[in-house]
Structure 1
Amino acid sequence: MPADSQPASREKPSPAAAPAAPGAGLSAVQRALRKLGLVRDIDFALYLPMRYEDETRVVRLSDVRDGEMAQIEVAVTSNEVVFRPRRQLIVTVDDGSDTCQLRFFNFYPSQQKQLAVGARVRVRGEVRGGFLGRTMMHPTVKAAGTELPEALTPVYSTIAGLAQPALRREVRSGLARARLDETLPAASDWQPAWDLRRSLNFLHYPAPDVAMATLEDHSHPAWQRIKAEELLAQQLSQMQARNERAAQRAPVLAREAGKESLAEQLLAVLPFALTGAQRRVGEEIGRDLAREVPMHRLLQGDVGSGKTVVAALAAALCIDAGHQCALMAPTEILASQHFGKLVDWLDPLLRSRGLRVAWLTGSQKKKERDEMSAAVESGEAALVIGTHAVISEKVRFKKLALAIIDEQHRFGVAQRLALRGKADAGLEPHLLMMSATPIPRTLAMSYYADLDVSTLDELPPGRTPVVTKLVADHRRDEVVERIQAQLQQGRQVYWVCPLIEESEAVDLRNATTTRDELADALGEAVGVGLLHSRMPTAEKQSVMAEFSAGRLHVLVSTTVIEVGVDVPNASLMVIEHAERFGLSQLHQLRGRVGRGAAASACVLLYSANEGGRVGEAARARLRAMAETSDGFEIARRDLEIRGPGEFLGARQSGAPLLRFADLATDTHLLDWARELAPRMLAEHPQLAQRHIDRWLGTRAEYLKA
């Protein structure tokens, strides 16, 4: 039977990772294996070492340089337990060419017996020089004369409760049992030099003469095969999800002929003209909404590019067709910003049609929430804006057809599924996701391959460039003087303090102290407000309203103002401990100023460590902020610094991140996978499904959200 006509086969759980009998509890080892995601035989086979140890040869101690890892065979000449400066076992050994001390801070009686005077042993560890001679700290110890392995010894990433020898045994066993037959079609344009079984066997147990650089930089042919297969699995699963959505049905959102459209009325009342990019993206979304295939589009644009207007136009198209639209934002401040703008623009137009805009958040009083929920259920609320409260079980829509999710990377898969579940039975809502973090090209080609992407690449006229300055913390007084100068010109100022989860209380105290210090330095005539995540919602809204109205002149805040806040009169942003923030977060914060006509600046106030230095990654972030204000360039550098896992955030919560391929260096393999995946799904569907099952298992389901 040809390979691609064999039935798709689900990998069986490994005996080590499954309970011994139905209903039996898991052992400590089994629980540890499951925490590492090691359940099926193929999971063990694809669990590749993070590094290797060379136990294939024994060397003379006199030939080893300080700092090198070495394996030596020695005789024990002394063995004693000392208590200076702490309890430790010190063993002196001699291999005939030199002597060395072995030191153990944690040891057992069995080790003392193994290292008795006169014993011959084989030890491996890092040889260090020092005043008292050469030492090895906690080396591995085996009996001398045992057979040397023929391959390098793999070292796997592990967790507490799972020792390296036990993990090696389980991986070896799973690798031997795993089904590793060919899943690449014979007709693909590029055939890797090594097959999968040979590649995996080699990467788990490489020959000692292999060039270590090719293992470490993943350029070896075995690594090329693994990375190619992984990228192909990702592309297949993304395209499969796209194809499955294409088979679903969504409401066709076309307006009735002969009626003035809500979108036209909206454009007439807006106090500005749309940019060319906004018109183009609006047309792309309009074409999607007029089809019965569910839209699944990501709207990306730099801070201030006008995504909210595009969302309002999409909502207007939906409402024109007699349906409801939901807009969900991750925080109440961001949701209220949308609510304020959209109420101003749309509510008067909707009222004339007997419709309204509804507002749903977790902090609402029960009476108000019940009133809003009733308006949603009756259909009177044509546009529903809110936080996670929009997807609560109690909220029922009459005719939901469009879901808009802002800052989509801050919502998990389950939350997006819950919003989709609010639509009519048998229909999928159209989905528009918005992000102010531009997506680098390679990410768009890989992690977002299941989405159509629209880009607002043009800023509205009137936005002023923001000058970015790096200032060391010891020049804080100069920053306060700059604030005073801005206030004298009638401008307003943000001062952002970092908020780190591990020390939240400490950081809130710091923010409060900063507010008090600024109030003292600036004088009683200056209103200095404080905004942080622990404040009651009503108090947060009150502070924000006071700042927006100009009655507060300086706003000291944690990062709750990161997105969505729009105060055109604010012309200076000070970010304290800027070295603690991520690059995209710094860029988002900087985007809160420069929203009016006044010249604006962002001061990155950084603190060096005790040695007077800033960490390498932090220095790269600060340098990027000073060198460019282009959101796409910022995103590209952020991806370089953080890698895709952190960059993507919750969008891929639970979904398969690349473990082996590197989007910066493996674009040729990504191009190959993108070209092969659609042909494979069309011509070899069973092979494609086996390939997805092998690499992703149940995690592929997350990509369908």
Structure 2
Amino acid sequence: MSFSFPWQTDVQYLKGIGPKRAFLLKKLHIHTLEDLLYFVPFRYEDRAELKKIAHLTAGKTETVEGEVMAVSLSETPRRRMKIVDVTISDASGLLHAKWFNQHYLKNYFKKGDRVMFSGLVKENYFGSRTIEMENPRYERVETDKALHMDRIVPVYHETKGFTSKQIRSVLKQVLARYADQIPEILPLLLLERYRLLPLFEAIQQIHFPEKETDIILLNQGRSPAHRRLIFDELFILQTGLALRKKGMSEKVSGIAFKVNGLSPHSLKKLLPFSLTAAQERVFSEICADMSKPFVMNRLIQGDVGCGKTLVALMSILVAIDNARQTALMAPTEILAVQHYLSLKAYLHALGKSVFLLTSDMRKKEKDEVLSAVASGNCDLLIGTHALIQKAVVFKNLGLVVVDEQHKFGVLQRVTLLKKGRQPELLILTATPIPRTLALTLYGDLSLSVIDELPPGRSPIHTRLHYGNKREGVYRFIATEIQKGRQAFVVCPLVDISEKLDLKAAVERFETFKTEVFPNLNIALLHGKMKRDEKEKIMTAFREGKINLLVATTVVEVGIDIPNATVMAIEHAERFGLSQLHQLRGRVGRGSEQSYCLMIADYPISKEGKRRLKAMVQTTDGFKIAEEDLSIRGPGEFFGTKQSGLPSLHVANLIRDVKILEVARKEAFDWVETHAMLEDVESRPIRDFLERKWRGKLEWLSIA
């Protein structure tokens, strides 16, 4: 088998492209021959049997061909919106197509042109039946009709100056030149086991399906060609993760901690409650990892309020008992301060030292912390990204805990881990991750789930109110505070935006203070405050000296105030679903009934309505995550830039979960039995993997 196929050839050197077209293709992230071959259509149109205009069905998306009879440009009197109106005929009747604010189309269409329109059919009856389309897709029908008509036609994402039609023409030439040379990637064993198309045939069929192909399956991404490319993409992804996991377990020597449980046991005696069975189970899994002579790389996942931080503290104590230093990195200064204040009392009671490092510390204070860390007199260092500064030098770092890891970039985690000699890594996340996504993002990690909340907690009541009901929400807050409770009000911005009509936290705070709650102790908390101010406010709120905390989303994670029973969220329609759920998790941490009151203002998008509805319907973080993934789509939820993983171009983590599970099993089995892909049979897989990941393999050992 030849491995010399020119995957990495720059597109400008391909027939029919050249430098100018290559520049346009690069706007679509098409740089190489491989990028072009894997530039999958986002939709397919059946132009095999075009309907006559007279036979079109209102309410359906149809495709017609006709001759341009008239082109006009008009303008609405009030909003001065420009409308291009094109009338076409196919002898059976007339169709009127309109485009709004695309006046340049007036010069695109010429009387006598043969054109194709595809769009939603509408009917109007003004004396007689009029057939219309608004903003339909359009193409001129030219001499290469066999490529663009009378068949199932692929539709691609476009860029200005390079249309879907032009992309089809280029691909036709490229496939004519290279299709039969495309080398196979997967071993014959897998092709036969899962009845997968050969790769060259799948690529040919994805771009130019045969007439008899089921167009419904094509548009659902479930055709045999799609299935083959999806399997490839997920198999390669999981192979990379499997390589990292195998490399970590076999090659990276760890510390092999002695786990005697002395300090964790002493900590349990200090607690006014017992650990849940889930916390005990997960701590046992961590201890088992830490006792092995290989580096731990474990993710602790659990819904808000399940007690992840306490499990992390017990793990920290195991490391300290072994004369190792520990670091806890939090995504925000407020959360770092929260961790410092809540853990300090326990650690001091056990004779352990803890320091806080933030970016806005005074030089003298910072130097004292850095000295304690360098000398080994600091057992636990808590901070934000300030921990990765060059000035931070540990004497003997043995455990790194990263809280809400999705808030950090991969390189930040790499930098912190490099401050020790193969330290253990423990990652905490309260952001629920659907199992499908966890398999993809964390396929090389050991995964623990705390799936149990502490006893005695009642489900949070979540209610949706609209802007005209704000006063009722405020009265409810006042009633709860009169009972001795505390409350949050969260606003999206710190300053009034000129672009978005939102109630900023600063403005809302002043209104509450002077008009709505003049007799209450109210404080404002936002990310632009100095550390001393934040620490002072958090301490006062925790001690009950503040009744109502007005804040931005800096309170999204980690703030733990058991006496707070109300979370009111202004402009809830502007927040993401995961973010709304995290904010809700700031209450419901005590024994009293708690409430999440979302205040929404019109207009609300379709996705916004889905988010708010999901919040009202469930408090289950994993169900919330599944819905969030469904709403946002895998690309945005996946966050590949932060994760350091390659993008998915064909696979859809919601639709393709069954293929993902199969591909994962096969990938891990293959890596286990094929010596890190060093054998000849694995060479095509390794070559493809290296091209796709381009150096990302190193990052995966740290999630």
Q: SS of 1:381's equivalent?
A: coil
**Compared with structure 1, are the counterparts of its residues 547 and 187 closer, same or farther at alpha carbon in structure 2 (3 Å cutoff)?**
same
- State the distance in 2 between where 1:215 and 1:629 align: 36
Q: How do 1:596-675 and structure 2 match up within 5 A?
A: 596-609=590-603, 614-649=604-639, 652-675=642-665
Q: Paired residue for 1:180? A: 182
- Structure 1 contact 326–385 (Cα < 8 Å) conserved: yes
Contact 1:409 1:650 in 2 (8 A): no
TM-score (norm 2): 0.86
Aligned residue number for residue 72 of structure 1: 65
- 2:142 corresponds to 1:148: no
Q: Distance in 1 between matches of 2:516 and 2:57?
A: 62
Deviation of the 1:598 alpha carbon:
2.2
CA shift for structure 1 position 223: 1.9
In structure 1, distance between residues paired with 2:463 and 2:694? 48
Runs of 5+ unmatched residues, structure 1: 21-25
- Alpha-carbon offset, residue 282 of structure 1: 1.4
Determine the C-alpha separation between the residues in 1 that align with 2:358 and 2:173.
Answer: 52
The 3 A distance-change label for structure 1 pair 515 and 187 is same
Report the counterpart of residue 37 of structure 1 in structure 2: 29
Kept in 1, the 8 Å contact 2:373–2:392? The answer is: yes
- Verify: 1:221 aligned to 2:224, yes or no: yes
Indicate the residue corresponding to 2:9 in structure 1.
14
Q: Paired residue for 1:527, among 504, 521, 546?
A: 521
2:482 is equivalent to residue 488 of structure 1: yes
2:375 counterpart of 1:378: yes
Deviations 1:619-638 (A, max 9, x none): 33333323332223332333
1:479 aligns with 2:480: no
Superposition pairs for residues 26-65 of structure 1, below 5 Å?
A: 27=19, 29-54=21-46, 60-65=52-57
Distance 1:605 1:692, change over 3 A: farther
1: CA distance between counterparts of 2:360 and 2:548?
Answer: 26
Indicate the residue corresponding to 1:364 in structure 2.
361
Kindly indicate whether the alpha-carbon contact (under 8 Å) linking 1:11 and 1:694 is maintained by their aligned counterparts in 2: no
Residue 443 of structure 1 is matched in structure 2 by 437
Deviation of the 1:617 alpha carbon: 3.0
Q: Is 2:114 aligned against 1:121? A: yes
Per-residue CA shift, 1:566-587, capped at 9, x if unaligned? 1122111112222322222222
Task: Give the C-alpha shift of residue 406 in structure 1.
Answer: 0.2
Q: 1:389 corresponds to which residue?
A: 386
Q: Residue by residue, what CA displacement relative to the aligned partner does 1:476-501 show, whole Å, maximum 9, x if unpaired?
A: 22212211211211111111123499
Give the 3 Å change call, closer, same or farther, for CA 461–122 of structure 1 in structure 2. closer
Q: CA deviation at 1:327?
A: 0.7
Matching of residues 191-206 of structure 1 within 5 Å: 191-206=194-209
Q: 1:565 offset after TM fit, Å?
A: 0.8
CA distance in 2, matches of 1:547, 1:334: 14
Match of 1:417 in 2: 414
Q: Report the 3-state secondary structure (helix = DSSP H, G, I; strand = E; otherwise coil) of the residue aligned with 2:146.
A: coil
2:299 is equivalent to residue 298 of structure 1:
yes
**Displacement, 1:618?**
2.9
8 Å contact from structure 1 (residues 334, 563) kept in 2: yes
- What is the CA distance between 1:434 and its match in structure 2? 0.3
Q: Deviations over 1:143-198 (max 9, x none)?
A: 66664336433221234454434444554455553763333333347222422221
Q: Structure 1 CA distance, aligned partners of 2:72 and 2:252?
A: 77
Q: Partner residue of 1:402? A: 399
Pick closer, same or farther for the CA change 1:518–1:36 going to 2, 3 Å: same
- Structure 2 CA distance for aligned equivalents of residues 418 and 479 of structure 1: 46
- The answer as to whether partners of 1:467 and 1:600 remain within 8 angstroms in 2 is yes
Task: Say yes or no: does 1:274 pair with 2:275.
Answer: yes
Correspondence list, 1:80-99, <5 A: 94-99=89-94
Note the alpha carbon deviations across 1:21-61, whole angstroms, 9 max, x for none: xxxxx956434434543233222211100113455566544
Matches of residues 280-359 of structure 1 in structure 2 within 5 Å? Answer: 280-350=281-351, 356-359=353-356
Deviations 1:71-97 (A, max 9, x none): 4343x6666777887878766655443
CA contact (8 A) 1:590 1:602 kept: yes
CA distance in 2, matches of 1:111, 1:440: 47
Offset of residue 204 of structure 1? 0.5
* Per-residue deviation, residues 430-477 of structure 1 (Å, max 9, x unmatched): 111000123322223333221111111222234343222223332222
Helix, strand or coil at the partner of 1:187: helix
Q: Contact 2:64/2:118 (CA < 8 Å) preserved in 1?
A: yes
Match for 1:557 among 547, 551, 558? 551
Contact 1:185–1:680 (CA<8 Å) still a contact in 2?
no
* Post-superposition offset of 1:208: 3.8
Cα RMSD after superposing both structures: 3.5
8 A contact 1:250–1:401 mirrored in 2: no
CA contact (8 A) 2:5 2:183 kept: no
CA contact (8 A) 1:408 1:651 kept: no
The match for 1:23 is: none
- Aligned equivalents of 2:414, 2:231: Cα separation in 1: 31
Residue 607 of structure 2: SS of its match in structure 1? helix
CA gap 1:481/1:500 in 2 versus in 1, 3 angstroms = closer
Q: What is the alpha-carbon distance in structure 2 between the residues aligned to residue 439 and residue 91 of structure 1?
A: 49
1:148 aligned counterpart, secondary structure? helix
Relative to structure 1, is the Cα distance of residues 654 and 490 closer, same or farther in structure 2, using a 3 angstrom cutoff? same
- Tell me which residue corresponds to 2:424: 430
SS at match of 2:413: helix
Structure 1 position 295, deviation (Å): 0.7
Counterpart amino acid of 2:358? Answer: T
Structure 2 SS opposite 1:460: coil
Distance 1:452 1:101, change over 3 A: closer
- Whole-Å separation in 1 of the counterparts to 2:503 and 2:144: 61
SS at the partner of 2:694? helix
Counterparts of 1:357 and 1:411 in 2: how far apart (Å)?
23
The percentage of aligned residue pairs carrying the same residue is 35
- In structure 1, distance between residues paired with 2:633 and 2:496: 23
Contact kept, 8 Å, 2:295 with 2:424, in 1: the verdict is yes
SS in 1 for 2:662: helix
